[in-house]
Amino acid sequence: MVETIRIEQKILGRNDELAAQNRSRFDAAGVLAVTLVGSPGSGKTALLEQTVQSLRAFRAAVIEGDIETDRDAQRIGRLGIPVVQIVTNGTCHLNAGMVQKGLDRVDLPNVNVLFIENVGNLVCPAAYSLGEHLRVVVASTTEGEDKPLKYPAMFRQADAVVINKVDLLPYVPVNLAEAREFVRRVNPTADIFETSCTTGAGIEEFSRWLADRGR
């Protein structure tokens, strides 16, 4: 077991180095890098679709991380946004090295905001910095209110938590005030947004928050 831990520390140490290199590239090009993480089906791609359209004044690009398929990249590509698909082939998270390879296919000098959508997983991506400036956790109302307590590592690191699918609130047994309170309990400083990618609710507020942080 000691050997395993040593290997893990080596991997995470190397990841941090590559993440720092990614960050330098973002900063040199004046790019705001934003990671989206969340459970499968929480609505990360839908939120991206809405947000890049709302941020038309910005030149956006997207890196999509998936275990298999390029379905998400196809969705983003249909909007005319430059998109790079990373297929992890079974790996449960993106790491900084994968993103670095993806960056070689992004025209960074012509981008203001780079979104990186991680693999749908509320656990493992928390351990791997990608060099991003902002981390956004997307959680759906249908997941219930207690996920921040049950998966605290991810919520603790978030700069923003987006509670998505608020259009379903009349139909799901979830208490939104309690959901917010549980986010607060593990992360007192994250900004919290309530959105629906079906009705467009909250998209403008979230986009404005991003725009305020862009360069």
User: Which residues are at the interface with a second copy (CB under 8 A)?
Assistant: 3-4, 7, 11, 39-41, 66-69, 71, 90, 92, 119-124, 140, 142-144, 146-147, 149-153, 165, 167-168, 171-173, 198
Q: Kindly state the smallest distance separating residue 40's Cβ from a second copy, in Å.
A: 5
Considering the complex, state which of residue 108 and residue 124 has its C-beta at the smaller distance from a second copy.
124
Considering the complex, state which of residue 68 and residue 212 has its C-beta at the smaller distance from a second copy.
68
Residue type at 60? A
Q: Kindly state the smallest distance separating residue 140's Cβ from a second copy, in Å.
A: 6
CA distances from residue 47 to 53, 101, 149, 183, 204 in whole angstroms, order as listed: 10, 25, 23, 19, 11
Q: Kindly state the smallest distance separating residue 121's Cβ from a second copy, in Å.
A: 5
Kindly give the interhelix angle for 203-213 and 44-54, rounded to the nearest 10 degrees: 70
Considering the complex, state which of residue 80 and residue 90 has its C-beta at the smaller distance from a second copy.
90
Considering the complex, state which of residue 67 and residue 192 has its C-beta at the smaller distance from a second copy.
67
Alpha-carbon gap, residue 176 to 198, rounded angstroms = 18
Residue found by looking up tokens 């991810």 in the block:
154
Considering the complex, state which of residue 54 and residue 85 has its C-beta at the smaller distance from a second copy.
85
- Nearest of 198, 122, 117, 135 to residue 165 by alpha carbon: 198
Cα angle: 131, vertex 137, 140; to 5 degrees: 155
Alpha-carbon gap, residue 62 to 193, rounded angstroms = 21
Q: Kindly state the smallest distance separating residue 3's Cβ from a second copy, in Å.
A: 6
CA 156 vs. chain centroid, Å, equals 14
Q: Kindly state the smallest distance separating residue 74's Cβ from a second copy, in Å.
A: 11
